[in-house]
């Protein structure tokens, strides 16, 4: 098994109190968890999935929470999640840090969630189908913020599904080089500025909501402008 002998304060805040020993522990939680997937791919020479995802900047997460009521991520890990609630691939390991497991097995009936999925057409299509099923099945307030690359030449099936969704409430485009992402290895970088990079592609931002979600978390031009600013280099 790959292990990392460093310490990750990101994981400390996610561990439920009942999992800590009675004896006092150092402030930094010792990360004896499995090496992040990206590093395993590097070590084994499997580069097929490198750069399949860029994390949103911290200011964007904060804006989504403040302006749109977002409290959960649909695609994250204990090392890069912003909100305490999140879904992740490796639930057998990540459950100790609060993961709800795979998003595709998770069925919320209420809440405001954000999805920045891996940049993979099949994953995005599957994600949209799952979201629409969830929005159809509940009358409680449910809202999804979705961030995906601008793939329009030709348009991908996932983008078309979002464009045509009956739950679509808002759609915005962030031009290439006009906004930033954070590297997937942000937990290994001590300088916040170095963790960010200018997006070489446009980014599409969608909001899917049912009627109750639309009423509870209305999408306004002012809120969208705040989100655009949160994605910019100024933060």
Query: Mean pLDDT for each 10-residue chunk of the chain (235 residues)?
Result: 40 46 39 47 43 79 98 92 92 87 97 95 97 98 96 92 98 89 61 63 95 98 96 75
Give residue for tokens 């070590």: 43
Query: Would you state the pLDDT for residue 192?
Result: 53
Longest dimension (CA), the chain: 59
Cβ-based neighbours of 13, under 8 Å, separated by 6 or more: 84
Rounded to two decimals, the pTM is: 0.77
Give residue for tokens 């020993």: 21
Phi, psi angle pair for 146, to nearest 5°: -125, 130
User: Quick one: which H or E segment has residue 175?
Assistant: none
Q: How many CB atoms lie within 10 A of CB 151?
A: 17
Q: How many CB atoms lie within 10 A of CB 149?
A: 18
Helices 121-137, 157-164: crossing angle, 10 deg rounding? 20
Token couple for 103: 């998003």
Query: Would you state the pLDDT for residue 22?
Result: 37
Task: DSSP for 28-40, please give it.
Answer: SPB--SBPPHHHH
Q: Which of 169, 122, 167 is nearest to 148 (CA)?
A: 122
Using the Cα atoms of residue 166, residue 167, residue 170 and residue 171 in order, give the sign of their dihedral.
Answer: negative
Q: Which of 102, 78, 86, 85 is nearest to 186 (CA)?
A: 78
Query: Would you state the pLDDT for residue 49?
Result: 42
Query: Would you state the pLDDT for residue 42?
Result: 46
Query: Would you state the pLDDT for residue 152?
Result: 85
Residue 36, CA distances (Å) to 3, 107, 125, 147 in order: 9, 26, 25, 22
């Amino acid at each position: 098994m790959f292990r990392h002998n460093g310490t990750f304060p990101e994981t400390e805040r996610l561990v439920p109190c009942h999992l800590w020993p009675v004896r006092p522990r150092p402030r930094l939680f010792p990360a004896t968890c499995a090496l992040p997937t990206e590093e395993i791919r590097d070590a084994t020479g499997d580069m097929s999935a490198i750069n399949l995802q860029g994390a949103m900047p911290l200011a964007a997460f904060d804006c989504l929470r403040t302006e749109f009521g977002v409290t959960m991520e649909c695609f994250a890990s204990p090392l890069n999640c912003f909100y305490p609630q999140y879904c992740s691939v490796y639930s057998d390991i990540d459950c100790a840090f609060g993961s709800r497991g795979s998003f595709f097995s998770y069925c919320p009936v209420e809440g405001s969630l954000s999805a920045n999925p891996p940049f993979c057409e099949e994953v995005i299509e599957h994600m949209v189908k799952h979201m629409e099923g969830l929005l159809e099945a509940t009358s409680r307030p449910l809202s999804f913020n979705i961030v995906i690359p601008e793939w329009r030449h030709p348009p991908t099936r996932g983008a078309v599904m979002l464009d045509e969704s009956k739950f679509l409430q808002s759609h915005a485009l962030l031009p290439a080089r006009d906004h930033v992402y954070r590297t997937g290895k942000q937990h290994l970088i001590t300088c916040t500025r170095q963790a960010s990079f200018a997006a070489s592609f446009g980014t599409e931002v969608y909001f899917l909501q049912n009627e109750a979600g639309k009423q509870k978390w209305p999408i306004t031009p002012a809120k969208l402008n705040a989100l655009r600013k949160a994605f910019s280099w100024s933060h």
